[in-house]
Amino acid sequence: MTPKREDPVPPRSLRKLAPPPSFFAPVAELTEEEAREELAWLAREIERHDRLYYLHDRPEISDAEYDALKLRNRAIEARFPHLVRPDSPSLRVGAPPAEEFGKIRHAVPMFTLDNAMEEGDLRDWVARIRRLLGIDPEAPLAYVAEPKMDGLSCSLRYEHGLLVSAATRGDGYTGEDVTANVRTIREIPQHLMTDRPPPVLEVRGEVYMNRDDFDRLNAERAARGEPLFANPRNAAAGSLRQLDSRVTAARPLRFFVWGWGEADPPVTGTYSAFLERVRELGFPVNPLTRRCTDEAELIAYHDELEQRRFELPYDIDGVVDKLDDIALQERLGFVQRTPRWAIAHKFSPQKAFTRIRDITVQVGRTGALTPVAELEPVTVGGVVVRRATLHNEDYIAAKDIRIGDTVVVQRAGDVIPQVVEVVREKRPPDSRPFAFPDRCPVCGSLAIRPPGEAVRRCTGGLFCPAQRVERLKHFVGRRAFDIEGLGRKQIPRLMEAGILESPVDLFRLPKDRERLQRLAGLEGWGERKIRNLLAMIEARRHVPLDRFVFALGIRYVGEVNARILARHYRRFEAWRVAMEKLAAGDARVRAELEAIEGIGPTIAEALAEFFREPRNRRLVDELAGEIEIEPVAAPAAAASPLAGKTIVFTGELTRMTRGEAKERAEALGAKVAGSVSRRTDFVVVGADPGSKLARARELGVRIVSEEEWYDIVGAT
């Protein structure tokens, strides 16, 4: 049975307010003060009727009466344009197009979730929570389970009750400013429905589109000869990220709350109580959300939703499970950007049968050769799949995958298509095993497979056109230098035209007349587009160290590891010197690097390999000469007694878990290492310490008792 979308009872905040006395007077006779008062009433009253109609299916007035309210609001704004409110109903129909999205820095980063793909993964998560908190397996512990919406995450900021900004997740730290578009979504309140709004409240949730609305939208686009959206999630994301908010206003977008960011006063109590509170403030909360008391209930809820997922009016790809107690959430904290207190319990992948037309081999930005199955198009989970990954040559050999085979295809995590099984009885009689190439299909360089690795790699480096293209795409990507106007199609064109060969060319382009003339000669590159590109390049001449490190595309150095390195070395100069020494074989630098929590020997060796190559060192230095690489601030204020200190823990702490102690130290600006070195500032010793204590004494490192540690961090 399909659940109803509306809440069972409208919240108290939807109570009707009497109109001001001026409401019955002609607009031409209103004083400015009367107009101001009436616009405030109209904004709230029209939004109240929107919510009664769209969320609760309980309209109180006719369409004609509703239109009359909006017409009066528009007439008053036309006479007093300086009185237009941020929550004006007129803003819900969209505004003229913007040239580009602005950026909004999240006051509190937007986290990502770890996945539980199997029931055992969920049980492990529950056991880990109890272990970290020191809670007995039989002790009661409450959770909240909610459908994992397949949409686009968005953060809404309210100040003193008014919606002031809205941003996409972006890289988790900085998102796109989509405020004008979010104002057009009728399920999102322009102001909080309370007479006592908090000074600040950031409400976070998922923007999505119902399947019926998606089908109607695609039918309309087909009738106009426009490209169709692949699925409701793409339609929602594309609609929210329109530069013309009038387009967004015409799209049937919806919203469900799943969390919060910055809040003053802080959110306390339980997550289930928070959801009830925001529902009263006017936000839609998924009615299928359920409070569970143990892992058995969590698993039962997951299995129930998996059976019912196609009965729901919207797409979901799993269940999000969260610890209900917010104080316990804060104790558990995060691992990098992933909360320990929440997990996404995914559904089993959806599958379909199709035939492999061909097997091609792609070359990635690190030189990895990846085989791809070119398929006869097939629909898997509502998405037409034409290609699927074959992972590597061992995967092909183990499953004996051949051109012409009929295969089972699934979307891993409902996202990445992959071939999982061959239907042998349908194999053509003349088929042959696939021979994996030992030469790069792009540049012809030798493709080698390092011992112990499953991936074969091209040795052509930056001389390989495929790697140059992919490295540049990565460099200008949203999570690296974020240079808009240089998408996946533009980079190859500019390289073919000789305008770009390396990242340095980007920052030299504004002063290179010859290349600018070539750019102006390319189709689609008019004066305005070139001007916008040059402005974007200039804006990116200042970049934080972590983004710079990530943009280089060093193997194994993703966003998280780039941020760890940046926080450890703080300044580009310190990092650059350390990397030079690492490449030269400096044992002390390597030991320090490997001791950084989250780095280790594999990443240290990848960094060494990168900086052993003279062309890479030259590239880094040339880039540093063209831009300003900003230092990364310590995670906590410089006034913290731990800011900049390197700490090692050994032994068992009695008043907090090791994980909690690490989180507390990092929050105060410290670096927590896994081993003791001469650069360690002090070692915190608990009960039954190990060899780290002896090493600290040997090196003369300061040793701190557990009680001294609590005094330092102010623990009570």
Q: Is residue 81 part of a domain?
A: yes
Q: Which residue has the tokens 């469900």?
A: 256
- The CB density around residue 237, as the number of other CB atoms within 10 Å, is 18
520 shares its domain with 576: no
Q: What local confidence, expressed as pLDDT, does residue 70 receive? A: 82
208: Cα separation from own chain's centroid:
16
Average pLDDT, the chain: 86
CA distance 715 to 653: 13
Strand locations in 661-709 (E): 671-672, 682-685, 702-705
pLDDT at 381: 67
* CA nearest to 450, candidates 392, 373, 371: 392
What are 117's two structure tokens? 């793909």
pLDDT in tens, 200-235: 999 999 999 999 999 999 999 889 888 888 788 888
Kindly report the backbone phi and psi dihedral angles of residue 372, in degrees, each rounded to the nearest multiple of 5, phi listed first: -130, 135
Give the position of tokens 């698993």. 299
The predicted structure's pLDDT at residue 373: 94
Q: Are residues 476 and 498 in the same domain?
A: yes
Same domain for 229 and 298, yes or no, is yes
Give mean pLDDT, residues 557-582.
91
Is there a single domain that holds both residue 59 and residue 124?
Answer: no
Quick count: other Cβ atoms within 10 Å of Cβ 435? 9
**Same-domain status, 226 and 122:** yes
pLDDT at 336: 66
pLDDT at 646: 87
Using CA atoms, how far apart are residues 642 and 655, in angstroms rounded to an integer? Answer: 19
- Average pLDDT (154-158) is 96
Range from 6-10, 46-50, 415-419, 588-592 carrying the lowest mean pLDDT: 6-10
Q: Give pLDDT, residue 580.
A: 94
Q: Would you say residue 3 lies in a domain?
A: no
Out of 569, 599, 630, pick the residue that ends a domain: 630
pLDDT band at 639 (very low <50, low <70, confident <90, very high): low
CB 14, CB 52: distance < 8 Å: yes
Q: pLDDT for 309-337, tens place per residue?
A: 888 999 998 999 999 999 999 999 887 67
Given a cut of 60, whether residue 414 has pLDDT beyond it is no
Q: Are residues 526 and 412 in the same domain?
A: no
Q: How confident is the model at residue 696 (pLDDT cuts 50, 70, 90)?
A: confident
- Average pLDDT estimate for 519-538: 90
Highest mean pLDDT range out of 162-171, 378-387, 594-603?
162-171
What is the Cα–Cα distance from 409 to 426, expressed in whole angstroms?
Answer: 15
Is position 357 within any domain? yes
Query: CA-to-CA distance for 455 and 392, rounded, in angstroms?
Result: 6
Task: Name the residue range of residue 664's domain.
Answer: 646-713
Instruction: Give Cβ neighbours of residue 334 (< 8 Å, ≥ 6 apart).
Output: 111, 340, 663
Within this chain, do residues 237 and 278 fall inside the same structural domain, yes or no?
yes
Instruction: Please tell me the least confidently modeled range out of 18-27, 201-210, 248-257, 533-542.
Output: 18-27
Q: What is the pLDDT of residue 284?
A: 94
**How many structural domains compose the chain?**
6
Q: Is residue 438 part of a domain?
A: no
State residue 12's pLDDT score: 45
Through-space distance between the first and last CA atoms of the chain, rounded to whole angstroms: 51
pLDDT in tens, 345-375: 988 877 889 999 999 999 887 788 999 999 9
- Report the CATH number at residue 611: 1.10.150.20
Give residue for tokens 């009727």: 49
Summarize the confidence of residues 648-667 as an average pLDDT.
76
Sign of the Cα torsion 427, 428, 430, 434 reads: negative
**Is the Cβ–Cβ distance between 442 and 396 less than 8 Å?**
no
Token pair 């995590």: residue: 413
**Do strands 702-705 and 682-685 pair parallel, antiparallel, or not at all (unpaired)?**
parallel
User: Mean per-residue pLDDT for 169-192?
Assistant: 89
pLDDT given for residue 547 in this prediction: 92
- Collapsing DSSP to helix, strand or coil, 436 comes out as coil
Which residue matches tokens 């999630």? 233
pTM for this model (two decimals): 0.56
Marked catalytic residue, from 148, 581, 645, 692: 148
The CATH number of the domain where 677 resides is what? 3.40.50.10190
Q: Cis peptide leading into 265, omega within 30 of 0? A: yes
Tokens 């880990």 locate to 128
> Which one, of 385, 323, 381, lies nearest residue 349 by Cα?
381
pLDDT per position as a tens digit, 417-435: 889 899 999 999 999 999 9
Residue with more model confidence, 272 or 59? 272
Residue position matching structure tokens 């533009």 = 490
Inside any domain, residue 72:
yes
**Shared-domain flag, residues 307 and 419:** no
Rounded to 10 degrees, what is the CA torsion of 258, 262, 265, 270?
30
Q: Which helix (H) or strand (E) holds 319?
A: strand 316-323
In terms of Cα–Cα distance, which of 149, 211, 162, 213 is closest to 188?
162
The span from the CA of 516 to the CA of 536, in Å, is: 15
pLDDT for 1 equals: 33
pLDDT at 18: 81
**Rounded average pLDDT over 472-476:** 89
Q: Which amino acid is at 361?
A: V
pLDDT of res. 278: 96
Helix (H) or strand (E) holding 308: helix 295-308
Spell out the SS3 assignment of 119-159.
Answer: HHHHHHHHHHHHHHHCCCCCCCCCEEEEEEECCEEEEEEEE
Q: If we measure between CA atoms, which residue out of 688, 694, 681, 679 comes closest to residue 706?
A: 688
pLDDT tens, residue by residue, 705-714: 888 887 777 6
The pLDDT value given to residue 400? 96
Q: What's the CA gap between 684 and 658, in Å, rounded?
A: 11
Taking CA atoms, 609 is separated from 503, 565, 584, 638, in Å, by 20, 16, 10, 34
**How high is the pLDDT of residue 100?**
67
Tell me whether residue 1 is in a domain.
no
Q: For residue 379, how many other CB atoms are within 10 A of its CB?
A: 11
The structure tokens listed for 614 are 């003279």
pLDDT at 9: 43
**pLDDT of 609-623, one tens digit each?**
888 878 788 889 999
Measured CA angle at 182 (ends 179, 186), to 5 deg? 145
Cβ neighbours of residue 404 closer than 8 Å, sequence gap 6 or more? 355, 356, 427, 428, 431
Q: Specify whether 673 is located in the same domain as 586.
A: no
Among residues 551, 547, 579, which one has the least CA distance to residue 473? Answer: 551
Instruction: Give the model's pLDDT for residue 202.
Output: 97
Name every residue whose Cβ is closer than 8 Å to that of residue 234 and which is 6 or more positions away in sequence: none
The pLDDT of residue 537 is 92
Low-confidence winner among 59-68, 307-316, 333-342 (lowest mean pLDDT): 59-68
- Maximum mean pLDDT: which of 384-398, 469-483, 624-638: 384-398
Residue type, 634: A
Q: Is 24 helix (H, G, I), strand (E, B) or coil?
A: helix
Q: Which two tokens stand for residue 662?
A: 């690490």
| Domain annotation covers residue 205 | yes
Active site residue 148: yes
For residue 267, the 8-state DSSP code is P
Residues 394 and 510 in one domain: no
Query: What residues form DSSP beta bridges with 259?
Result: 204
Write down the pLDDT at residue 29. Answer: 85
Query: Bridge partners of 519?
Result: none
Query: Does the structure show a pLDDT above 90 at 141?
Result: yes
Q: Is the pLDDT of residue 338 over 80?
A: yes
pLDDT higher for 112 or 9?
112
164 Rama class: left (phi>0) / alpha (psi -120 to 50) / beta: alpha
Closest CA to 446 of 454, 438, 455: 438
CATH assignment at residue 239: 3.30.470.30
Q: Are 342 and 359 in the same domain?
A: no
pLDDT for the residue 143: 97
Give the end of a domain, one of 312, 346, 380.
Answer: 346
Q: What pLDDT does residue 93 have?
A: 61
Q: What is the dihedral of CA 602, 607, 613, 617, to 10 degrees?
A: 180
Using alpha carbons only, how large is the chain's radius of gyration in Å? 29
Question: How much of the chain exceeds pLDDT 70, in percent?
Answer: 92
On whether both 121 and 156 belong to a single domain, the answer is yes
Q: What does the pLDDT read at residue 313?
A: 93
DSSP conformation class of 571: S
Place of tokens 């390049």: 537
pLDDT of residue 523: 86
pLDDT at 667 over 80: no
What is the distance between the alpha carbons of residues 389 and 439, in angstroms, rounded to a whole number? 20
Residue 22 sits in a domain of what CATH number? Answer: 1.10.287.610
**How would you classify the pairing of strands 338-339 and 334-335?**
antiparallel
Quick one: pLDDT at residue 96?
Answer: 56
Q: Residues with Cβ < 8 Å from 336, sequence gap 6 or more?
A: 560, 563, 564, 598
Mean pLDDT, range 26-42, rounded to an integer: 89
Condensed to tens digits (0 to 9), the pLDDT of residues 94-129 reads 555 555 678 899 999 888 888 888 899 999 999 999
List Cβ neighbours of 162 (8 Å cut-off, separation of 6 or more). Answer: 86, 87, 190, 191, 192, 197
* Triad 484, 488, 490: Cα angle to 5°: 70
User: Amino acid letter at 324?
Assistant: D
Vertex 368: Cα angle to 367 and 370 (nearest 5): 135
Q: Is residue 166 part of a domain?
A: yes
Cα distances (Å, whole numbers) of residue 500 to 425, 490, 519: 50, 10, 10
pLDDT in tens, 546-556: 999 999 988 88
Instruction: State pLDDT tens for residues 394-406.
Output: 999 999 999 999 9
Could you say which of 427, 452, 487 is where a domain stops?
427
Q: Which residues pair with 204 in a beta bridge?
A: 155, 259
Residues 674, 666: Cα–Cα separation, whole Å:
13
Q: What's the pLDDT at 63?
A: 66
CA atoms of 706 and 685, how far apart (whole Å):
6
85-99, 368-382, 514-528: least confidently modelled range: 85-99
Strand partners, 363: 369
